[in-house]
Amino acid sequence: MSNKLQDQVAIVSGSGRGIGREIALKLAADGAAIVVNDLDAAPAEEVVAEIIAAGGKAVACVGSVTDKDFGDRFVKTALQSFGRLDIIVNNAGYTWDNVIQKMTDEQWDAIMDVHVSAPFRILRAASDYFRESAKQEAEAGQEVFRKVVNISSVSGVMGNAGQANYSAAKSAINGLTKALAKEWGRYKVCVNSVAFGLIKTRLTEATAGENNTSTLDIDGKQIKVGVNPQLMKNIESMIPMGRAGTPQEAAGSVYLFCIPESNYVSGQVLVVGGGRP
């Protein structure tokens, strides 16, 4: 443990499972207090308990990031629980794929809402605190950096067949990243995106096509997840490193944008794909 994030506070959406969980654990292990979020209370509380058992600090903020009031509630949880906010990781999301002629308005709107509108609301909710804190710190002659890491995808960088909604949403979050890097630079807030390639999670695990019973419950709707085993092999064969990444490796790339060594890095999209552009 390097304690580079000692006394800092991070909010990580979708951190009860998968990549988000590993991000929360990684930041906590380096000293940050964490606000853990998940749709369901059980996984969120499990991560909180794990962080506390390891000597860290954490609280849960359960609920859907797409709720209109969630951004305000998420930020307030950090401020009320720990008195400050230093790091925002917009990680929550899922895929709901289809070719465009079969894609419904519901599919399009749902993916845009969770991957673009939800992060926008969270960042807007934090804006007053960031601005006021930066003003007070500047008056005191202090230079304090804060970090935003938005989770994108290679689909948002180069597109992907069957993912018009997801590709558009992840491209949009990169645009939001670059815009806020310009707006918030004067407040010493670094805003970057991490665009993941194939990372092994429950959303991408290999499952037989017709026999795939793996689903995600979103607002009472069962959405199929998983990747056909042959397709998974084909995708991995195109990755120079020859395999999918792990959630721990994914978390490591987010961590790079949170530590002091990246204080002069902002407005960037880092592709994390094992050598595949």
Provide the percentage of residues in the chain whose pLDDT is more than 70: 94
At 12, the pLDDT band (50, 70, 90 cuts) reads very high
pLDDT tens per residue across span 84-104: 999 999 999 999 999 999 999
At 225, the pLDDT band (50, 70, 90 cuts) reads low
Q: Is residue 209's pLDDT more than 60?
A: no
pLDDT tens per residue across span 99-118: 999 999 999 999 999 999 99
Q: What's the order of all strands across the beta sheet hosting 33-36?
A: 58-60, 33-36, 9-12, 87-90, 146-153, 189-196, 269-272
d(CA 88, CA 99): 33
Residues known to be catalytic: 166
Q: Tell me what pLDDT residue 227 has.
A: 60
Q: What value does the mean pLDDT take over residues 129-135?
A: 98
Nearest by Cα to 115 from 152, 64, 144: 152
Q: Tell me what pLDDT residue 204 has.
A: 73
DSSP 171: H
Q: What value does the mean pLDDT take over residues 138-151?
A: 98
At 169, the pLDDT band (50, 70, 90 cuts) reads very high
Q: Tell me what pLDDT residue 92 has.
A: 98
Q: Return the higher-pLDDT residue of 124 and 219.
A: 124
At 230, the pLDDT band (50, 70, 90 cuts) reads low
Q: Tell me what pLDDT residue 206 has.
A: 54
Q: Tell me what pLDDT residue 236 has.
A: 87
Q: Tell me what pLDDT residue 217 has.
A: 76
Q: Is residue 145's pLDDT more than 90?
A: yes
Q: What value does the mean pLDDT take over residues 42-52?
A: 98
- Residue whose token pair is 């959303």: 203
Q: What value does the mean pLDDT take over residues 69-95?
A: 98
Full DSSP string of 87-143? EEEE-------B-GGG--HHHHHHHHIIIIIHHHHHHHHHHHHHHHHHHHHHHTT--
At 167, the pLDDT band (50, 70, 90 cuts) reads very high
- Residue whose token pair is 């903020």: 61
- Residue whose token pair is 């929550």: 92
Residue 221 to residues 84, 106, 191, 215, 224, Cα–Cα distance (Å): 36, 11, 33, 9, 10
Least confident of 22-26, 138-142, 209-213: 209-213
